[in-house]
Amino acid sequence: MKKYVIVSLFTLAIVAIMTSSCESSLKVSSDYDKSVNFGQYKTFSIYHDAKSSDAISSLNQDRIVNAIRSEMTKKGFTEATSSPDLLVNSVAILKDKQSVTANTNYYGYGGYYRPYYWGTGMTSSTTSYNVENYKDGSLIIDVVDAASQKLVWQGVGNKEIDGPIKDPDKKIPQAIASIMKDFPPGAKSKK
């Protein structure tokens, strides 16, 4: 009985590791205006661009806004309701995509280098195609200079989404922290 429990726990651990390793990871990129001195900015405000999509629920939109506020505060910025230095906006985009894979099986005999003949022989093959539908999700965070209305920094997180977010109260702030990791450029935080 003890051996059965150990084998079962070992099998469960392997399945958990394989499942977590198969999960697609968040791909993050950022870009910024290299002529801007980010040390001049002290305050920020969250704004909602008119082109913001309704791709996600209002609950998750609130989680995103709260996570951005938290990250900006951790980095030493103060939220201001009037005359902020920076305006921060987030846009979520979901697109339906397809992934196509092909697998070819060769049958028969031929030579050493299938599917090509080397000598005499006969080969045949069959190709099967597998089409998978999935959603491609992107979260874009724009940071705009409030005075000039010029985009000064942009961070993008992209991930293949295979279902609803599990534990969004934990996952969304982690994603926002990953996207904003390099903001402001050249400094870890503004203390």
- Is residue 108 scored above 70 in pLDDT? no
- Is residue 11 scored above 50 in pLDDT? no
Q: Cα dist. 76→69, 79, 178 in Å?
A: 11, 10, 17
What is the edge-to-edge ordering of all strands in the sheet holding 86-109? 27-32, 150-161, 122-145, 86-109, 43-46, 78-79
**Range 25-179: architecture per CATH:** 2-Layer Sandwich (3.30)
Mean pLDDT in residue range 153-159: 92
Signed CA dihedral, 174, 145, 32, 161: sign only: positive
The share of the chain scoring above pLDDT 70, in percent, equals: 70
pLDDT digit string (tens) for 69-97?
999 999 999 999 889 999 999 988 878 77
Give domain limits for the chain.
25-179
pLDDT digit string (tens) for 173-185?
999 999 999 998 8
> Mean pLDDT over all residues of the chain?
77
pLDDT-derived band at 159 (thresholds 50, 70, 90) equals: confident
pLDDT digit string (tens) for 112-126?
555 555 555 556 678
